[in-house]
Amino acid sequence: MTHKPVIGYMCSYVPCRLLEKLGYSTVYLGDAECKTGGSTSCLPRNLCSYMLYCADLLNLAEIDGLILTNCCNSTQRLYDYVRQHRPDIFCCMLELPRDNTDEACRYFGVQVTQLIEKIQSHFYPRLRPQFWHKTLEVQMQKKHSEIYILGSAVSPKLRRFLQQVFSDYTVTIDHCGERAAGNLLWQKYQYLQGIAQDPPNNFIPCPRMSHFADQFTSYVQTSNLKAVVYLSAKNCDHFLMQFSTVRTICRAAGTPVIELETEFAGAGSGQLTTRLEAFTECLQSRGNAANTEPPACNRNNPFVQRMKLAQAVIANAPLRAIQMVVENQIDIFTNTIWKHPEKIIWTNMVMPQELFYAAGLVPVNMELAAGWLASLRVSDKYIACCEGNGCSPSVCSYHKATLGLLQSDGLDHPRAAAISSHICDGSIGTVSYWKQHYGTNTFILDVPFQKTPDSTAYLTRQFEELIAWIENYTGQALSEEKICEALILSNQAREYWTQVQTLRKGNPTVPGRYMLRNLFGATFLFGSRFGLDVMRTYHEEMRQKYTAPQNQASPAKRKRILWIHFAPLYHNTLLEYLEESLACSIVYDITGYIYWQQYDPDMPLESLAQRATSHFYLGEAEKRQKLYADIIQEYRIDGVIHMMHNGCRAIPGASWQVRDTADALGVPYLELSGDCIDPRGFSAEQMRLRLEAFGEMLWRK
């Protein structure tokens, strides 16, 4: 090549100094100042505004390569887009740890090594990438600052605007492109390898990182700040979810703090200007408007009362298996969680549950609690409570509903929580809030984006740490026998589930809305004896229904629907209208897809790691498109309906892949915009009209 390859990056955890020493030019895309002319990508608008800006910018930027980091769901969806729509650009995903421990830094160093090998092979295929001898000595200069502005992605225009607003103060703007974090972590990796002589000094990490709160606390307590401005790009979940922690830390130090959420490309709206002017006036008068306590929430608790009433209606469920699942959930929320709170371990829906059952714990995932709040028609109350306590309206309603429930003392505060990082960014912020406000004992399983031998080994070591964490929490050793027993029970339950999914390729006998709304919760029981009983019952009931003589006759004509994501859980009749009035049966929902292979009891932790890294919303987009194509063909799908849940970045963010797959197979596709948990702003008539129009199109076709 006759010129230095230009490599674009969006995150300070990319070791750009190392790339420059290797002969590349690096460009921080957040510094670009140009009009993109509106969105030219197919990405949905509820993704992070910074990611959307960069997607549009790629059509104007003259870069040869792009390095993204596995930091959030929006970045993962941008990676999918670039890989498929801009094959002329070298594009690579750099895996990031969530901590600065020696183990995490070694993993990061291996990822950087592989990144350099890939980029060297692409641009300089004839040169051996001898780079490991190149050391970096990077030290972050600690500046005296009166106003500390901590931001995700901050555009140049907005930086100038903030400097102007706080012109009477010494200002530090610490944003995603400013920290040199990747260079510092690489230096620490070289120090651990015995290459660099000195370790880097500490710096305030991204709020995504698990050690952010400790480092930020130390900085605020020792810097004599006059104020903190917490700035988030619109729909940046990691930053939005951490504001409550930042506010708590600032209040403890007596430091005024204000939160701002803006479109990345915005330079400052009138509302933003007004808020900042009021904030600076408070500073000048030595007041602290941002330090006022949030409004108290209503302490009434309708949740448990309505949960008890739900017991009376489950007898109408069409399957005994559904009754078993719902009865179990009612008992957890009305009995176990109050009488034995130490037995409850809070999780999220993609966290493998088997180790908890092996330890005698009761896993409860936060999405399940939110689903019940919506079904019982009280979710809006708790979402409003959470937003009143400072949570952004942009945050996913699943997490806001659960947070609001706990803030209102609707459930006992979590004693322990262990969650997985993949698919959903909001759960990480939720457990961080619990740790800061309730002293919850927390564990975050950091799941890489790509499935490789290195990532599987990295995750296996984390499962070893999880076992130690469980043993420390329970005070009891977790035996290999108990772990193997839980994995075997999970395998048996999984087998019954997959057999039922095979049966559903036939003519519909049970409305699919029940599987979507109720039986998905049975997968949270995998690894327990009760879960196996539920799945055995489910399989036997469905086998009898599909082999019954009346089902062998010519069935009534119905259209077969693939449903993506969940549905508005506060409106029970919507799916009933689809299946009964429009004769469109949900024969498959993507939430019920079993994406992992059977566990190997002889390699339990490796099997659990393989499961986590096998999720179909991780890795390359081609894998997801093939999955959807296979489902459409095997289940003879007539139409695809994709619920575009407002606060979700991972699943709606990949909607264009589903749409392209359906179009290629000649299958009609419908996107429904709305919210699964928050009923505010929901129009039943509008959604029914869209479903009706879609049904008419299917029948005409």
**Residues 292-308: pLDDT tens digits?**
444 444 445 788 888 88
Q: Which tokens hold the place of 655?
A: 């909607």
User: 672 pLDDT exceeds 70?
Assistant: yes
Domain's final residue, options 252, 287, 322: 287
Q: Which residues contact 144 (CB under 8 A, 6 or more apart)?
A: 170
Whole-angstrom distance, CA of residue 608 vs CA of residue 596:
9
Side-chain half-sphere exposure of 217, counting CA atoms within 13 A? 9
Other residues' Cβ atoms within 10 Å of the Cβ of residue 636? 10
CB 116 within 8 A of CB 133: no
How many angstroms separate the Cα of 428 from the Cα of each of 208, 282, 355, 367, 631?
8, 33, 20, 13, 31
Whole-angstrom distance, CA of residue 450 vs CA of residue 475:
35
Residues 317 and 275 in one domain: no
Q: Into how many domains does the chain fold?
A: 3
Q: How confident is the model at residue 225 (pLDDT cuts 50, 70, 90)?
A: very high
- 43 vs 493, which has greater pLDDT? 493
**Which residues in 39-89 belong to E strands, given as ranges?**
65-69
Predicted local distance difference test score (pLDDT) of residue 93: 96
pTM value is 0.92
- For the stretch 511-524, pLDDT in tens is 999 999 889 899 99
| 445 domain-assigned | yes
Predicted local distance difference test score (pLDDT) of residue 292: 45
Residues 445 and 544 in one domain: yes
Predicted local distance difference test score (pLDDT) of residue 296: 46
Q: Which tokens hold the place of 484?
A: 């193997």
Residues 263 and 340 in one domain: no
Residues 500 and 640 in one domain: yes
Residues 282 and 310 in one domain: no
Quick one: DSSP state of residue 522?
G
CB 129 within 8 A of CB 117: yes
Mean pLDDT of the chain: 90
Residues 348 and 225 in one domain: no
| 399 domain-assigned | yes
Quick one: DSSP state of residue 298?
P
Q: Which tokens hold the place of 136?
A: 């970096």
- For the stretch 467-484, pLDDT in tens is 999 999 999 999 999 999
Quick one: DSSP state of residue 4?
P
Strand order in the sheet with 416-420: 362-365, 344-347, 416-420, 441-445
- For the stretch 227-251, pLDDT in tens is 999 999 999 999 999 999 999 999 9
User: 634 pLDDT exceeds 90?
Assistant: yes
Q: Specify the amino acid at residue 436.
A: Q
- For the stretch 62-72, pLDDT in tens is 899 999 999 99
- 37 vs 396, which has greater pLDDT? 396
CB 173 within 8 A of CB 110: no
Please state the separation of Cα 285 from the chain's center in Å.
Answer: 41
Least confident segment among 130-139, 264-273, 402-411, 498-507: 130-139
Q: How confident is the model at residue 224 (pLDDT cuts 50, 70, 90)?
A: confident
Residues 549 and 696 in one domain: yes
Q: Which tokens hold the place of 56?
A: 């549009």
| 134 domain-assigned | no
Q: Which residues contact 101 (CB under 8 A, 6 or more apart)?
A: none
Q: How confident is the model at residue 201 (pLDDT cuts 50, 70, 90)?
A: confident
Region 347-358: mean pLDDT is 97
Whole-angstrom distance, CA of residue 522 vs CA of residue 515:
10
Closest CA to 184 of 19, 10, 15: 15
How many angstroms separate the Cα of 198 from the Cα of each of 13, 96, 185, 590?
19, 22, 12, 50
Q: Whose structure tokens read 């903190």?
A: 228
Determine what percent of the chain is predicted with pLDDT higher than 70: 92
Predicted local distance difference test score (pLDDT) of residue 200: 81
Q: What angle do CA 277, 283, 285 make, to 5 degrees?
A: 105
Predicted local distance difference test score (pLDDT) of residue 294: 46
Least confident segment among 94-98, 286-290, 446-450: 286-290
Query: Rounded to the nearest 10 degrees, what angle do helices 529-547 and 480-503 cross at?
Result: 20
Residues 439 and 487 in one domain: yes
Other residues' Cβ atoms within 10 Å of the Cβ of residue 211? 15
Least confident segment among 279-283, 411-415, 623-627, 672-676: 279-283
Q: Which residues contact 378 (CB under 8 A, 6 or more apart)?
A: 302, 303, 306
| 340 domain-assigned | yes
Domain's final residue, options 254, 287, 320: 287
Predicted local distance difference test score (pLDDT) of residue 136: 58
Phi/psi of residue 25, nearest 5 degrees = -95, 135
User: 39 pLDDT exceeds 60?
Assistant: no
Region 18-24: mean pLDDT is 90
295 backbone φψ class: left, alpha, beta (φ>0; ψ -120 to 50)? beta
Residues 465 and 521 in one domain: yes
- Containing domain of residue 75, as a range? 6-123
| 257 domain-assigned | yes
Whole-angstrom distance, CA of residue 29 vs CA of residue 48:
15
**Which residues in 311-469 belong to E strands, given as ranges?**
344-347, 362-365, 416-420, 441-445
User: What's 270's domain CATH number?
Assistant: 3.40.50.11900
Residues 439 and 516 in one domain: yes
Whole-angstrom distance, CA of residue 165 vs CA of residue 273:
8
Q: What is the 3-state secondary structure (H, E, C) of 543-586?
A: HHHHHCHHHHCCCCCCEEEEEECCCCCCCCHHHHHHHHHCCEEE
Q: How confident is the model at residue 127 (pLDDT cuts 50, 70, 90)?
A: low
Predicted local distance difference test score (pLDDT) of residue 135: 56
Predicted local distance difference test score (pLDDT) of residue 548: 77
Q: Which tokens hold the place of 94?
A: 């750099």
Determine what percent of the chain is predicted with pLDDT higher than 90: 72
Predicted local distance difference test score (pLDDT) of residue 130: 53
Q: Which residues contact 512 (CB under 8 A, 6 or more apart)?
A: 504, 561, 563, 579, 585, 586, 587, 588, 589
Predicted local distance difference test score (pLDDT) of residue 203: 80
- What is the full DSSP assignment across 580-641? IIS-EEEEEEGGG---SPPP-TTSHHHHHHHHHHT-TTSS-HHHHHHHHHHHHHHTT-SEEE
Residues 590 and 649 in one domain: yes
Residues 236 and 268 in one domain: yes
Q: Whose structure tokens read 């995998």?
A: 526
| 135 domain-assigned | no
User: 131 pLDDT exceeds 90?
Assistant: no
Q: Which tokens hold the place of 488?
A: 């075997």
Query: Using CA of residue 391, residue 393, residue 394, residue 398, what is the dihedral sign?
Result: positive
- 55 vs 198, which has greater pLDDT? 55
Q: Which residues contact 200 (CB under 8 A, 6 or more apart)?
A: 138, 139, 140, 184, 187, 188, 191
Region 481-493: mean pLDDT is 98
- For the stretch 528-566, pLDDT in tens is 999 999 999 999 999 999 887 766 555 568 999 999 999
CB 368 within 8 A of CB 399: no
Q: How confident is the model at residue 309 (pLDDT cuts 50, 70, 90)?
A: confident
Q: Whose structure tokens read 């739900």?
A: 310
Least confident segment among 255-269, 296-310, 410-424: 296-310
Predicted local distance difference test score (pLDDT) of residue 291: 44
| 196 domain-assigned | no
| 649 domain-assigned | yes
User: What's 24's domain CATH number?
Assistant: 3.40.50.11890
Max Cα-Cα span within the chain? 83
User: 487 pLDDT exceeds 80?
Assistant: yes
CB 70 within 8 A of CB 93: yes
Predicted local distance difference test score (pLDDT) of residue 40: 56
